[in-house]
Amino acid sequence: MRSPSSEILDDLRRTETQRRREHLKRALAKASARIERRIAALRGDMAAMQAAEAAARHAPLFVAEAAHTARGATVIRAVDWSSGEPEPIEMTIDPAKSALEQVDALFKRARRLKGGNHIARERLEKALRSRESLAEVAVVLERPEADLDALEVAAQTAAPRDFQAGLAGAPPRWSDFQAGLAVAPTRSIAARAPGARPPHRTFRSVSGAPIYVGRGAAHNDALTIHVARPHDLWMHARGRKGAHVVVPLEKGASCPADVLVEAGHLAAHFSEARDERVVEILYAQRRYVRKPRGSPPGAVVVDREKVIVLRKDDDVLRGLLEREAGAAR
């Protein structure tokens, strides 16, 4: 006959598994929505580029007409003979501007966008693959025997830019309290049993320096308050919700510029500013970061902060994500 304690443990295990399953569903849905928005934006960009290229092809036909068009006109007309037959074409212009300047602007815009369509197409294909992979993960997740750990890794691998299971307030894993009922689910993250998942993910800079990234609001607190040392460097996307980032340093040491920039990329990527190209990142020594009494999870006050204006580099970010410690290859 099974003991009451065993039955309670089984109930806890089932409850925790169901909570994790629901959490992964939400994380997958959010990631898929982000990818859908990016796909729509990329298709819009490609359509605009194609329209610009088409306009630029016709621009030479309008040059002669534009030179003789007086300010105040709203349309320039020309004839296209490229098909062997005369085809009337027209270009709408701003009557407040010079017609010739507006035709010249078509050439400039086409030159500026040259090559952009190829890049956008590659990004679109990548986004479509990520969407397909996440859809496959979602299907497998519905199976009762699904391996949740493996699916989380698969989703992170398929869409590292969009899937944020670790930052969305994931429930504790069974390993966090499998040692017995004495370890309650509300136990401090810093005091978890040996072998439990830490409150942060670890990435490696090009030089091999570790960079810690908090997994979520409560995990941010644990990383900043319990893991980071007073002399470590603390970073966060300025004015945005996101992960706390910590660069471990030796006492008296300063953070190398390249590591500072790499850590800034992670702070930007794991925040609400992940899709922005230029992000302000604040940083300070951990000793100047404090947690006000009664403040919500993840909320801190920073004194003596400094700010860097980070222009994101996709290659730098990609390398960091590929060098995550413990990530499946």
Which long-range contacts link 212-215 to residues 24+ away (Cβ below 8 Å)? 212/245, 212/246, 212/247, 212/248, 213/243, 213/244, 213/245, 213/266, 213/267, 213/270, 214/167, 214/243, 214/244, 214/245, 214/298, 215/166, 215/167, 215/170, 215/243
- Which range (160-174, 203-217, 224-238) has the least confidence? 160-174
Mean pLDDT, rounded, for 286-298? 89
Mean pLDDT score, 8-35: 83
Record the tokens describing residue 98, joined without a space: 């010079």
Higher pLDDT, 60 or 6: 60
**What integer pLDDT is reported at residue 190 of this predicted model?**
39
Q: 320 and 203 in contact (C-beta within 8 Å)?
A: yes
Element holding 123 (H helix, E strand): helix 116-141
**Number of DSSP helices (H) and strands (E) in the chain, helices first:** 7, 10
Instruction: Tell the residue number behind the tokens 């300010």, with chain if given.
Output: 71
Handedness of CA 256, 258, 263, 267 (dihedral sign): positive
Half-sphere exposure of 19 (CA within 13 A, CB side): 14
| pLDDT attached to residue 146 | 85
Q: Is the pLDDT of residue 289 over 60?
A: yes
pLDDT band at 198 (very low <50, low <70, confident <90, very high): confident
pLDDT digits 0-9 by tens, 294-321:
888 889 999 889 999 999 999 999 999 9
User: In angstroms, what CA-CA distances link 200 with 34, 189, 273?
Assistant: 23, 11, 20
Tell me which DSSP letter residue 212 carries. Answer: E
Comparison of pLDDT for 107 and 23, the residue scoring more: 23
Res 221 pLDDT > 80: yes
Enclosing H/E stretch for 215: none
More confident residue, 48 or 238: 238
Using a pLDDT cut of 70, give the percent of the chain over it. 81
Under DSSP, the state recorded for 223 is: I
- Average pLDDT over the chain reads 81
* pLDDT above 70 for 1: no
Q: What pLDDT, on a 0 to 100 scale, did the predictor assign at position 195?
A: 47
pLDDT reading at 179 higher than 90: no
For residues 125 and 157, which has the higher predicted lDDT (pLDDT)? Answer: 125
CB atoms within 10 A of CB 114: 13
